[in-house]
Amino acid sequence: MRIGELAEKAGTTTRTLRYYESRGLLPARRSGNGYRAYGEEDLRLLRQIRLLQDFGFELEDTRPFVECLRAGHPAGDSCPASLEVYRSKLAELDRCIARLQEVRDQVGAQLARAELEAQAARPGGPQPRCELSAHPNETEGN
C-alpha cells in the first residue's frame, strides 16, 4: 500500500508517517517507481506507536516496542526493553499521582479554611450550607 492509504488506515497523516520514517520507527521501502511501499506489518507498527502515544508515552519510548515487533515477536511488549519502558512509565505516573494528591489535599485545606472564614464573617454567625435545610422562619408541617 502507498503512504496515503497507510495513513488513512492508521488514522494519521502522511506527514506523521514521514516523520516516523525519519526517526527510524517506520521502514523506508520504495517500490520500483520510487513511491513508498508499506505492508500490513507497517500498519501493525503504527497501531502500536499510536496506542502507546495515546497512553502518554513519548515517541522515543515506543522504539523498544517497535523493535520487538520487527524482531518477529507476537506483541510489542513481549521483550525486556519494552517491559522496562512500562516500568519507567508506571514510576512516572506514580510520581504524578502522588503530586496531584498533595495538591488536592492543599486545595481541600484552603477551601475548608476559606469556608470557615466566610461563615465567621457573616452577620449572625454560621448559616446552613445546604439549600434543603430548613430556614429558621419556617415551621414543621408546612
> CA-CA distance, 107 to 133, in Å (whole number)?
26
What is the span of the domain harbouring residue 17?
A: 3-121
Segment 41-68 shows an average pLDDT of 95
Across all residues in the chain, what is the average pLDDT?
A: 88
Note whether residue 81 is domain-resident: yes
Note whether residue 136 is domain-resident: no
Whole-number pLDDT of residue 18: 93
pLDDT of 96 above 80:
yes
Residue with the larger pLDDT of the pair 78 and 125: 78
Note whether residue 141 is domain-resident: no
What's the structural domain count of the chain?
1
Q: Which residues contact 29 (CB under 8 A, 6 or more apart)?
A: 36, 37, 38
Residue carrying C-alpha cell 499521582: 97
Note whether residue 68 is domain-resident: yes
> CA-CA distance, 39 to 1, in Å (whole number)?
6
